[in-house]
Structure 1
Amino acid sequence: MASKKLGQVFIRNSALFLCDMQEKFRPTIQYFPQIVEVASRMYRAAKIMEIPTIITEQYPKGLGPTVPEIGVERETDTILSKTCFTMCLPQVEEKLKEIGTESVILCGIETQACIQKTALDLLERGLDVHIIADACSSRSMVDRMYAIERLRQSGAFITTSEGMLLQLLGDAKHPHFKEVQKLIQTSAPDSGLLSKM
C-alpha cells in the first residue's frame, strides 16, 4: 500500500508507454527534438532492463509513423494505431494484466490531450502513473504546464528521465547500471521546463 502513496517503481512491474511521437507533429510541438531525444533514452533503457514497452500512433495514415529517432523496432515492438485520446485500448489493458503492471511510465504528446487522458484512465484503474516531464510536450507551453499540474493534482507522479531511470535501477551494483549510466552521462536536453516554473 505504501508504494501507491510514495510512487516507488520497480523494473519487475513497470511498463513504458510512448504516446504518439509521430512525424507530422515535428513542426508544431514545442521542444520536439529534445522530447524525442529523452523518449529515445527511456526506450533504450527499457530495452536494456527488459521493461515492456507499448507505443501508440494517433491516426498514422494522416499523421505518419513514430519518428525514427526513437529507434522503435516495428517487427517486435507493440505498436498500436488509435483515434481516441487514450492509450488504454483493449489490447493495452489485456497486456497490462498479462504482465502484472503496477506502474506506468508515460512519455509523449500532447500533454493536455493523449498524455492527460491516458494518465487519468490509468489512475482510475488503480495504477501508479509516472509522467516523464522532460519527455512530454504540447503545441502550447501553457497547455503543457497546466496539464502537468492537473496530473499532479490527480495523483500522477511527475519526474524526470534521469530520476526515473535511477529509481528503477535502485543500486549502482544493479547488473544493468553501467549500460543505463551511459544513456544519462550527458544531461537530458533543456525542454523549457524551468522557464515556466
Structure 2
Amino acid sequence: MLLQLENSLVLVIDIQQKLAPAIDQTKEVEQAAAWVLQVALQLGVPVWGTEQYPIGLGPTLISIAELIPAKHMLHKMHFSALKEAHIAAAIANTNRKQIVVIGTEAHVCVLQTVFDLLAANYQVFVVVEAVGSRTADNKQLALNRMQQQGAQIISKEMLAFEWLNRSGTDSFRHISKGWIV
C-alpha cells in the first residue's frame, strides 16, 4: 500500500500554541510537520487542519498555520476530528482515501482520529516524526496501538519518496535537496 498523490490528503491535528510547549521534542515535531506540509503543497496534495477548543488551547502554531489554507482550518470539541460532522464531511467531499495524519497529541486526538478514519475505511498513514505527545512513552504506545489497528506508521522520507514515485524530476531535485550527505 503505497501513497499516491492523487489519492492523498494531509490532516494536521491540533498543533496549537498553548499545547506545543508541553509536547516532548516539540521543535522536532513542528519542523517535521512543516516539512510534510511544504512537500504536500509543492506536489498539490490537499492540506486540512484542526484546532481543539482554540479559545483554551490557542491557535495553530504560526509556522504550521501559514501552510494550511484558512478555509481548511476547522475547529473541533471532540478529541476525534471525525466525530465532528463538518470535518467528516469535508474530508469525505475530497474523495481522497489515503489520509496522512500528523499532529498532537499522539495518544489522544491523533489516535482517536486515526481509529475513526480506519473505521470509515480510509487508508491511514501516520508520519512518526510529525506526531507528538507530552511524553515519549505515550507517543510510542499510541503508535503501537495505531499500527495494530491497521494504520501505516511511516517516516517523512517514506512519504516524500512514495509521492514522488521517481527521480529525475524538478520536484524530486527540489524536495530531495539536502538528503544526501
Tell whether the structures are fold-level matches, with TM greater than 0.5: yes
Does 2:92 correspond to 1:97? yes
User: Aligned AA for 2:166?
Assistant: D
How large is the Cα RMSD of the aligned pairs?
A: 1.7
1:141 to 124, 133, 136: 136
Q: Structure 2 length normalisation: TM-score? A: 0.92
Give 2:59's match in structure 1, choosing from 57, 65, 85.
65
CA distance in 1 between partners of 2:153 and 2:125 (Å) = 6
Separation of aligned partners in 2, 1:44 and 1:130 = 17
Q: How does 1:123-138 map to 2 (within 5 A)?
A: 123-138=118-133
Structure 2 segments unaligned to the other structure (5+ residues): none
In the superposition, the TM-score normalised over structure 1's length comes to 0.85
Report if the CA contact (8 A) 1:48-1:179 is conserved: no
Q: Which amino acid aligns with 1:114?
A: C
Structure 2 vs 1, CA of residues 115 and 79 (structure 1 numbering), >3 Å: closer, same or farther? same
Residue 27 of structure 1 deviates from its aligned partner by 2.0
- Structure 1 segments unaligned to the other structure (5+ residues): 1-6, 188-197
Indicate the residue corresponding to 1:194 in structure 2: none
CA 1:140–1:75: 2 relative to 1, 3 Å: closer
Distance in 1, Cα, partners of 2:100 & 2:170:
21
Aligned length: 179
Match of 2:103 among 108, 112, 128: 108
Superposed displacement of residue 150, structure 1: 0.5
Contact 1:53–1:77 under 8 Å retained in 2: no
Measure the CA separation in 2 of the matches of 1:139 and 1:150.
Answer: 17
Q: Where has structure 1 moved over 3 Å in runs of 4 or more? A: 73-77
SS in 1 for 2:18: helix
- Per-residue CA shift, 1:53-78, capped at 9, x if unaligned? 11011111111111112252566450
Check the 8 A contact 2:48/2:69 in 1, yes or no: no
